[in-house]
A and B are shown apart, each in its own frame.
Chain A
């Protein structure tokens, strides 16, 4: 039954969504990764024309570790006035994803807007969306290591230890050719190599 209370996840102690006070912000459902696409397709057929948002939360002490959160909006496709829009229904779908091999089916073909949202979740949480046509990093440089919004990603310490990454060689625009300053890629790489050697001494 749809409710405004999140159903608790079986066998877990740490799960803030299941402890939430009664707030009337959305109808909440939990769904298994295997049933995700089926449920979302059904909701879309029901009139949920907009995938309002797609995000993730990391609970490292919990199994399964991640929650991917879908917000859907039931918007009539032709609503030319405020009264026609009325009070649209909002549904929140929580899908728990395993931490060891975080994978979920992509919903990019159902709503194009999932494209960047899924890329962002992949970039910042490392969850792989199977079937996404162009799953690359979106916010961070493509050679970044680690997924910063995971709880175990350190926020303190030397920058190089956090993300061992050269200053800017190997970035796509440099690799693609001569940088505007006229220096060649080799010269840049040489310079970075020297800087790193000096650092390690």
Chain B
């Protein structure tokens, strides 16, 4: 990339005839966060696009190394801020594998985890759809989406007390059972969802302007998708039915009945349709999980070396008091070893490679960030497209910068 010493404006880095180096972002409204793209353009078309990331780097992986295993979960949950439960769950599953307690997690906890994962997927896709709509000038979609997301956030608030980062999924299960009245809210949501979904489809799916802007735009062929390590809905939009929930099931996903929607076109419209279909599949899973919730049960692992015993018991039992004190003051220890665990986050395969050296803090937490790899594919698909379509491509890859930069 040629860069002259004196740029013409802060945005235009250099210009020679029709060729220009343009800096898009990092504060551009349609870059979904803080993304800068150095564009080499020829007239209106992109010759080369080089995304520059790192504007939101907060050193979460480093921070996690100096926290207890349970405290680290709090910062890890903040990576993908649109789907916090998927980060927390993936980390918890990895630690549980190292502890060797995966088979002992209560069934009810696994059901609620599945429920949370699918609710969070719907909420995350709502943000994606709303902002994607805004990027293309369809403002009203945003309000329908955020209304639906609001219901999910209310439910998240009921479980953990916080709307965005409930910290409800814990190593060993969940932080307490679902609160009273949760089932009613869930039923209302299940009831409301299909109608809302019809409205969302009605607003965009057959909209000629939306179709003009997305069909045949940002085509990601299968070879390109594999080369750039794209996962999640973006990969399925190119025709590969890889879904971690089916390929490497966790939390009993193999016992739920759902499909993996795929399209073969590989363009922005295909990715749009895959995500919409996925929301409907999530609704299907939520309905099944709702039925299973009828059976009461424990939601936390019964092992005082890992999970603090209930607070009520500490006034009655000396052992409970000691265990409580130990867990709070120095956390639990995890046997040495390393493990890779992945889940299907709304953006793709979210993975954690965790190393323990036997201490009460993680030795290393390496994230496999789906957004980062998906966004990187922009380098492959942007050349040859118009600048205006770049916005569509970014939107259709659905990056979340908390996770890209960590």
Q: Contact string, A105-134, partner B, CB cutoff 8 A, digits 1/0?
A: 000000111011100000010000000000
Q: Count A/B pairs, Cβ under 8 Å.
A: 152
Tell me whether B240 and A85 are in contact (CB under 8 A).
yes
Evaluate contact between A155 and B62: CB separation under 8 angstroms: yes
Q: In the bound complex, do residue B241 and residue A55 qualify as a contact, i.e. CB atoms below 8 Å apart? A: no
Q: Is residue B159 within 8 Å, beta carbon to beta carbon, of the partner chain? A: no
Give Cα A23 to B340, complex, Å.
9
B9's nearest neighbour on chain A, judged by CB, is A177
User: With A53-B368, A92-B340, A176-B7 in contact, do A81 and B355 touch (Cβ < 8 Å)?
Assistant: no
How near does chain A come to B32, taking the closest CB pair, in angstroms? Answer: 17
**Beta-carbon nearest neighbor of A20 in chain B:** B337
Q: Are A25 and B368 in contact (CB under 8 A)?
A: no
Q: What residues of B have a CB within 8 angstroms of the CB of A87 in the complex?
A: 247-248
B380: CB under 8 A from chain A?
A: yes
Q: Is the CB of A77 within 8 A of B226?
A: yes
Q: How far is the CA of A106 from the CA of B356 in the complex (A)?
A: 27
B348 → A minimal CB distance (Å): 11
- Docked-complex contact B54 and A138, CB < 8 angstroms: yes
Say yes or no: B366 contacts A55, CB within 8 Å: yes
**In the complex, what residues of B have CB within 8 A of residue A90's CB?**
248, 340
A37 smallest CB distance to B (angstroms): 17
A57 and B54 contact, CB distance less than 8 A: no
- Determine the chain B residues whose CB is within 8 A of the CB of A155 once the complex forms: 62-63, 66
Query: A26 at interface (Cβ–Cβ under 8 A)?
Result: yes
- Is A31 at the interface (CB under 8 A from chain B)? no
Which residues of B have CB within 8 Å of A51?
229
Min C-beta distance of A60 to chain B, whole Å: 11
Q: Does residue A78 face the partner (Cβ distance < 8 Å to B)?
A: yes
Q: How far is the CA of A178 from the CA of B368 in the complex (A)?
A: 38
Contact between B10 and A177, CB atoms less than 8 A apart? yes
Shortest Cβ distance from A138 into chain B, in angstroms?
Answer: 6
Query: Which residues of the other chain, A, contact B57 by a CB distance below 8 angstroms?
Result: 139-140
State whether B241 touches A80 (Cβ < 8 A).
yes
Question: Which residues does chain A contribute within 8 Å of B53, judged by CB atoms?
Answer: 116, 138-139
| CB of A157 within 8 Å of the partner chain | no
Assess whether A85 is in contact with B353, with CB atoms less than 8 Å apart.
no
Nearest Cβ in chain B — how far from A172, in angstroms? Answer: 9
Complex: how many Å from CA A182 to CA B7?
14
The docked-state distance in angstroms from the alpha carbon of A49 to that of B228 is 10
Cβ of B97: which chain A residues have Cβ within 8 Å of it? 23, 25
Interface membership of chain B positions 254-293, coded 1 if the CB is closer than 8 angstroms to chain A and 0 otherwise: 0000001010100000000000000000000000000000
With A23-B98, A90-B340 as contacts: A52 and B357 at CB distance below 8 Å: no
Contacts of A7 in B (CB 8 A): none
Q: Which residues of A contact B339 (CB under 8 A)?
A: 20, 23, 25
Q: How far is the CA of A139 from the CA of B51 in the complex (A)?
A: 12
Proximity string of chain A (3-46) to chain B, C-beta cutoff 8 Å, 1 when within and 0 when not: 00010000000101101110101100000000000000000000
> Which of B247, B340, B363 sits near A86, CB closer than 8 Å?
B247
Contacts A/B (CB < 8 Å), 12 sampled: A16-B337, A16-B338, A16-B357, A16-B363, A69-B353, A77-B226, A85-B240, A92-B340, A138-B54, A155-B63, A155-B66, A173-B10
What 7 pairs between A and B have smallest CB-CB spacing?
A20-B337, A113-B229, A55-B366, A53-B368, A139-B57, A139-B54, A19-B336
Interfacial residues, chain A to chain B (CB-CB below 8 A): 6, 14, 16-17, 19-21, 23, 25-26, 49-53, 55-58, 69, 71, 75, 77-82, 84-88, 90, 92, 111-113, 115-117, 124, 137-141, 148-149, 153, 155, 173, 176-180
Given contacts A52-B351, A85-B242, 10 further A-B contacts (CB under 8 A): A23-B97, A23-B337, A23-B339, A25-B339, A57-B364, A116-B372, A116-B373, A124-B61, A176-B7, A177-B6
